[in-house]
Amino acid sequence: MDKVGIGLVGCGTVGSGLVRNLPEANRLLQQRLGIGLEIRAVAVRDLAKQREGLPIPPVADWKAVISNPAVQIVVELLGGTKDSFEVAKAAISAGKPLVTANKALLAERGQELIPLAQKAGVPIYFEASVAGGIPVLKALREGLVANQLLGLHGIINGTCNYILSRMAEEGSDFAPALQQAKELGYAEADDRLDVDGIDAAHKAAILCLLAYGFLPPFPKVPVEGIRSLAAQDVSFARQLGYTIKLLAVVRPVGADRAEVRVSPTLIPARHPMAAVHGVFNAVSLVGNLSGPVQFTGRGAGPDATSSALLADLGEAARHLRDKSPGPVLPAGGDKIRLIEPGDSVGRFYVRFDVRDQPGVLAQIAGIFGTEKIGISSVLQPEGHGADSVPLVFLLEPAKESSLQKAVAAVQKLPLNRAPARILRVEDLA
């Protein structure tokens, strides 16, 4: 078979990594699949920007890439959801398989895009959209296809994991850890997508699609980032035997509901996921047949992402060569809906700053008892000075709405000195 023609739309950091790694990957693809790839058209937003290694001059009009008869597979690397959606839609209309690393496109506009692709019979490949070089989507789609997934947890944003690792190891506050991440190139100047949990939530939505055939309405996914996390909470978590990670959780709730959320979460320090440091990612899941499975590796960067892109390109080229249909997305999720946030049941870490006087613990414990919330541990650190001290509770499983009601009642007491800090706890059993 002749080399398969590739058209790139967007050639920033990820695209440059793809271009750089293509020659060596081609040798392996030819050896293993009998397939070769060739870049035959490239469109970029800024023609003045120097890009090394491009085999052909880029153009500004992405439509010229898709309409090029020498292009058989379109790779969309623009990011965002507006222009990228138009590119994806045009590729599908042209009958050309689409390969993308764009998690925002799939999470926010997948409910429009996926039906278009299914109706046209054009496959979409998106392994690179989640966890970089970790082939977790392929594992869900193929290796674990006979399993009923009982739950999935993911550390899927390397920037946040790096910041939390620094906070845990150095005892630093959030701001200096974020600044260090920016200086090392792990965080963008505009850090909101990463630090506020949006990037991880995009990936969680895609994991839900592969795990349960259900793409949740993105605005309804509860998302909390790490910006307000304090060094003292990292320290208290460690004293309780836990580590704090920005965790994505995807799990079924009964037969027709699912929970998808992203939040800073206490996980047991003895669990393997607690040892995932720096910019590395991890996805842990439980199948009814496989039991616990964990994937760990580099979650971002041009090399890790191009590894996933090249794997998708090889698969897409093989399907073109064999004239076989591409991968089928899971079905059956049309009857599933997200649970309401207040209906979520879990364990919680709650820190109050309270007046240092006798009887405070009993008063707060009584309020938790009224809401039928059990207490598993209490931490009363000394030596904080003045008349205000932190009081930390690790709670038994409770409904989130009940927890919020109890916390609101505590905060009305005259003994309360500051807003409570609430964090999720996942025991990952």
Rg, the chain, Cα only: 24
Determine the Cα–Cα distance for residues 107 and 205; give it in Å rounded to an integer.
6
Cα-Cα-Cα-Cα dihedral of 9, 14, 16, 21, to 10°? -110
Annotated active-site residue in 103, 138, 203, 245: 203
Cα 351 to Cα 364: distance, rounded to the nearest angstrom = 11
- CA atoms of 22 and 38, how far apart (whole Å): 8
Which pair of structure tokens corresponds to residue 375?
């207490």
17: tokens are 């990594």
| 349 beta partners | 394, 423
Query: Which residues, 6 or more positions from 335, have their beta carbon under 8 angstroms from its beta carbon?
Result: 256
Q: Tell me if residue 203 is catalytic.
A: yes
Quote the CA–CA distance of 376 and 399 in Å, as a whole number.
Answer: 16
Maximum Cα interatomic distance, the chain, rounded to a whole number of Å? 81
Instruction: Return the structure tokens found at 256.
Output: 């027709």
CA dihedral 404, 251, 310, 73 (to 10 degrees): -90
Phi/psi of residue 159, each to 5°?
A: -60, -50
Contacts of 119 (CB under 8 A, 6+ apart): none
CB of 128 closer than 8 Å to CB of 155: no
Query: How many Å apart are CA 400 and CA 415, to the nearest integer?
Result: 23
- How does DSSP assign 158-211, residue by residue? HHHHHHHHHHHHH---HHHHHHHHHHTTSS-SS-HHHHTSHHHHHHHHHHHHHH
CB of 149 closer than 8 Å to CB of 285? yes
The C-alpha atoms of residue 49 and residue 15 are separated, in whole angstroms, by 14
Asked if 39 contacts 6 with a C-beta cutoff of 8 angstroms, the reply is yes
> What are the residue ranges of helices labelled H in 213-325?
231-239, 302-322
What angle separates helix 158-170 from helix 174-183, to the nearest 10 degrees? 120
> What's the DSSP call for residue 3?
P
Catalytic residues: 203
